[in-house]
Structure 1
């Protein structure tokens, strides 16, 4: 059975005098599960790319906590140099975040872009595309809030895998927000009147399994030979997390 320690707890805190919302979390539990996932699937990323995907997972998790519970959000970032796609998706309802990066078969675009999709059951998906100036996830989420959320936000990387997102609310003290430093954020709950609004918890988890890929192979039911071509099994890679799954003829 999972314990609270298996999850990253994200706090949603209202900064009263500044009319700002602070989201903060310590991401070691998510990163531990992320590295176990890489090890189990024999995946290894270059250090620079690994750092970027981890920070993207952290900031998407904070963003999810700033949003209504029912939303599932997916972010895909396409970079020109290095030529790579970063994917991350998460849901407060399922208390999970997952992601993967792709370095093969990535088309080179003329700009760095972030593609966002927000889904609520029973409603049409909401999509937006944001142009990015560099390879820093801190600037990605700040650009996303400025262009898509239509309000400013600041993102911070603190010590010991702690991350913070501070988003403007109506009548926010924008000068204060713009001039915040990492040192200010580290002691914010001591220097400003605040109120804890809620906490949510997340883990690194995709939920993929061999059985979930079978519907996409339904056309081969009754004709497994065409799919397996004399092989004993077929390996399928999950596009969400990079997990590898084995499909055998008897599963049909």
Structure 2
């Protein structure tokens, strides 16, 4: 049997750190070649004003083609916006299986954001704002994300979402029910639209948007690895 590869794609304004916990798990439990590229303009220091959606997709395509130089089978994992790019790659290349984590087919969950904002406000009153995980994660992004880049992200979503019925390979869809960026209903939205009967839906009751850092991430990673290794995926809709 030939070599297997797995490409993991991070989200909008994010970086490899968003999917690194899963990448580490897969490296420890498989002999696959694991690739975790950082899309142009992304990473620890954002330079989004220098890039656009076409460049993000093109870069991911180049990384996928590089994997094909060494691998016979390739799985693609996409987090948030990376899920949209992963879906695009699956439609246009012979990807074996697809994993979508908090896929940004829909975005902004007002109810959860309101809850998070209340937490930030309460921490402000207690003068613990710098200790608030949510505030620390998004503060930098709020000030370093150009409006034009947000339009590029929406342009990508507008293009890819109608293509979901073209996905014919097995798909694993995971979503945190406490997600304040992508509404929990996005998981079912994607599940209902992908054009395959071999699909699995995993909902985490405790996870927010960064699902690879959720309290149940070990269980999630186990389920993903099992999904990728099994021969046939049952529909659990």
Q: Same fold (TM over 0.5)?
A: no
Under a length normalisation based on structure 2, what TM-score does the superposition of the two structures give?
Answer: 0.27
Q: Which structure carries more strand by proportion?
A: 1
Q: Which has the higher contact order (CA 8 A, sep 6+)?
A: 1
Q: Radius of gyration: which is bigger?
A: 1
Under a length normalisation based on structure 1, what TM-score does the superposition of the two structures give?
Answer: 0.26
Q: Which structure carries more helix by proportion?
A: 2
